[in-house]
Every structure is written in structure tokens, then in C-alpha cells.
Amino acid sequence: MRRTKVLVAMVLTSSLVLIFFYSSLNLQVVHTQRAFTVSVPVIRQNVSSTTRAKQQNMTSSKPQSNVVPITISANFRKAVPQSSAYWNRRQNFLLKQLDARVNITDDERLGWSHCSAASVERLQTNIQDFNSYPALYRDFLLGMECRDPPILIDQPDKCTSEGREGQTYLLFAIKSVPRNFERRQAIRETWGQERVYEGGLRVRTVFLLGTSSTEDPDLGQLLSFEAQHFGDLLQWDFRESFYNLTLKDNAFLHWAMKHCSSAMFIFKGDDDVFTNTQAVLTYLLSLEPEKAKKLYVGHIVSQASPFRDAKNKYYVPQTFYEGAYPPYAGGGGFLFSGSLLQPLFRLSQFIPFFPIDDVYTGMCFQALGITPEAHKGFQTFDIREQDRENACAHRDLILVHQRSPQQTLRLWRGMHSHLLTC
Ligand SMILES: *[C@@H]1O[C@H](CO)[C@@H](O)[C@H](O)[C@H]1NC(C)=O
Ligand SMILES: *[C@@H]1O[C@H](CO)[C@@H](O)[C@H](O)[C@H]1NC(C)=O
């Protein structure tokens, strides 16, 4: 009797969930199955599977968590100073829109077809010293409202190819560029290998690419071959550049929300880091279910502020952004929960793009109300020089930056050698 009631309640909430989805932001929801999954008890012997089942139940038994309206945390609102800087003004405008519950239709939503909205003239009118911005910065501003770039190489079945049994526990999403084949191959042969680890933990990998500049040789055919052969490339139609990394991040969020939302955890990182996959899995399995749902962990940069020197790679003009940065996880590599993909993406529609991708990610998490957690296993600034080729020194680490493809192979083989005694 109680069972039937529970079932009826579930069906009802599920229907509500669906109705809400289709009437709200027009977001495509592919993985509604999470909302419908009646949790089946998983009987397995080892500890890792039970932990995993507990972590999974946390996400599958609460369909409501998928439909919370977009709310932006008070912390974030407080952190955005009222200022005449361009980004601040855009942010305050979007917050007002959100608060007024203005419906953003698909047509009005920031999208690729609206890129022309940011004309040079408009920017010159709004930013008095726009013409003295570095050329790449002006390019960034011209593309700042452009989202959802067309996808050129897709892997829509990446996470669903093997049904329920194939559920992704950890998805590696690695920022790469077309010419970095050697780095991708080293990752495929080592820490990014797609396989099932002990306890049935399935690891999958995608590489995130834009297009190379027209000054570079055309690698298109080679990429198509690589994508077909390995099935792990995602490429969007935008030019690779440092200031376009936020766009890449956002395109990935959208893709993962549509095609890999059942992944328990996402690792976002660069193609020149070395990751100790087993240490990552051990750490993830140790998490309490509550924590596993709201994870954002890495090497945390806190109390940082914009660099105002135009020659610095991370230069941010005063007339573009005012204020400090929220605490954020260094973009070399960090982990977050798959259940946050959708909230993050929806909320990002109300946060203007920022030219530094990991700062932007920090902003989105702050707006979501999640504080990043520091973990000393993430060594984005590398370890002592004398330990860099030492497999033992890497055993308890999660990530080090940076390693060449050759060093990556040597380290991986060393760490997995039966002859290794530490
Ligand atoms: C927004 O959309 C909903 C449902 O489509 C509608 O009921 C509501 O009146 C709209 N609000 C505004 C401010 O247009
Ligand atoms: C980002 O990509 C778009 C689309 O290819 C391009 O127009 C823009 O100039 C790029 N931005 C930067 C900063 O390179």
C-alpha cells in the first residue's frame, strides 16, 4: 500500500518535472531517465560498489533537484561591485532580468546567431577606451555574447553506448587543440584510458577542441580520422585562443548536460597534466553522498584580483571588470559532480562570459552557492624538481602540471610496474 503511494507520488513528481522542463528555459533534456529511475538495490560484494550505489541513489531518488528555479546566491550578488565597468554593468543587467522573471525566449537567449549584436560601435559607445584594448581582447568582447557554437565533431553516444551497465563514473574532459595529437595519444595510453576500474567504475574521456587559425596547416582530415578511430573528440566551430576557453567550457557544459548527464563526476583539465586516475577514484569513492552531490575540488586560488598590466597574459582592463575574483579551482585540473552540469549551465546564461575560464567557472560555482574545496593532491604548480620523474612521489598525488607525453608514459609505466617498491 505504501509502495503504491510512493510510486504514484514518484510518477506525479516525474510528470511535473517534465512539464516544467518543457515550459521553462527550453533546455533540452535528454536524460530524463534519471528522474524516472526507481532505485533498484544493487547487490555487489565490494565496498566501492556500495559507496557508488549510495552516491547514485542520492541523485536518482531526488528528481526535484533537477528543477529548482535558477537562483543566484547572495554571496555572488554581494561580490559584484556596482561599477561602471562593462562586465559589472552587464552582470547587473542580467541579474535584474532574472529577478524580474523576464522570460528569456530561445530567440533572445545568447546564442551563435546573435553574435553580431556586439558591434564595434556598440562597444565603443559603452567602453570609452575600447580602442586601446589589446587586439585579442577586442576579439573577445566582440564574441562575448556568442554562445552555443555549432558542433563539428560530436560523440552523442559517448556515455550511453553500453546502456545502464555502462554508466560513467568519471568523465575526463580534456582541453586540447587540434595539433596536440601526441599529448592526446599519451593520455589515451595512460591516465585517460577508457576502461572499467575495480569496483565497476567506468572512466570515459573526451577531448575538447576548437578550430585552428587559418594560418595553421589544415588538420581537418586527420582530426576526422582520429575522431572516427578513437571516438573521443569533440570539436566546435570557434577559433582556438586563450580568451575563447570560457566559450569552450560552456560548450562542453551544454554537451555534457545533453549527452552525459548521468556521469557521477567530471574532471575538467588541460592536456599537459599528469593525473593519477586510481587516486582520483579512491578519493571520489571516499566522499559522503551529500558531498558527492556538490563537489568542486582542486587547487584553489583565493583572494585573487585582476592583473592590470597590459602585458600580462591574465590582463583585465579596469573599464572591463571591477572587483576581486571569487575563490576558484585552477583550470589545470579540477573535479565536480555530474549532478551540477545542468544547474551550472542554466545559471551560466545569466553570467556574462569572462576572458579567464577558470575564474568564470569560479563565478558560476559561487553563484550556485558552492564553495570550492582545496585538496593538496592537486599540484597545478608542480612538485619539487628532484621528484618530477619519481613514480613513488606521484603515488598519493591526484594531479601534477606539467608533463610531456614522454614523461607521462614513463611515469605511468613506473607507477604500475610490479617492480616498484616505494
Ligand atoms: C513567462 O512565461 C510563462 C509561461 O510561459 C507565462 O505564464 C508568464 O506570464 C511569462 N512571464 C512574462 C513576464 O512574460
Ligand atoms: C573566438 O572564436 C570566434 C569564432 O571563431 C572568433 O570570431 C573570435 O575572434 C575568437 N576570439 C578570440 C579572442 O580569439
**Closest ligand relative to 152 C-alpha:** 2
- Ligand 2 lined by 137 (C-beta under 6 Å): no
**318 inside domain:** yes
CATH code, 213: 3.90.550
pLDDT of 70 reads: 86
> 235 C-alpha vs ligand 2 centroid, how far in Å?
14
Ligand 1 atom showing the smallest separation from residue 101 Cα: 13
pLDDT in tens, 43-80: 334 556 677 777 776 554 444 444 567 899 999 999 99
Query: Residue 235 pLDDT > 60, yes or no?
Result: yes
**134 inside domain:** no
**229 inside domain:** yes
**How many Å apart are CA 337 and CA 35, to the nearest integer?**
17
pLDDT in tens, 258-275: 999 999 999 999 999 999
Nearest CA to ligand 1 atom 5: 23
Domain range spanning residue 277? 151-377
Q: Give me the mean pLDDT over the 334-350 stretch.
A: 95
**355 inside domain:** yes
Neighbours of 151 (CB within 10 A): 15
**93 inside domain:** no
- Residues 172-207 as b or e (16 or more Cβ within 10 Å = b): bbbbbbbebbebbbbbeebbbebeebebebbbbbbb
**Closest ligand relative to 238 C-alpha:** 2
**383 inside domain:** no
**Closest ligand relative to 98 C-alpha:** 1
Which H helix or E strand runs over 57?
helix 47-60
User: Residues 205, 226, 399, 267: is their CA dihedral positive or negative?
Assistant: negative
> 73 C-alpha vs ligand 1 centroid, how far in Å?
23
Direct distance between the N- and C-terminal alpha carbons of the chain, in angstroms, rounded to an integer: 58
**39 inside domain:** no
- Domains in the chain, number: 1
Query: Residue 84 pLDDT > 90, yes or no?
Result: yes
**413 inside domain:** no
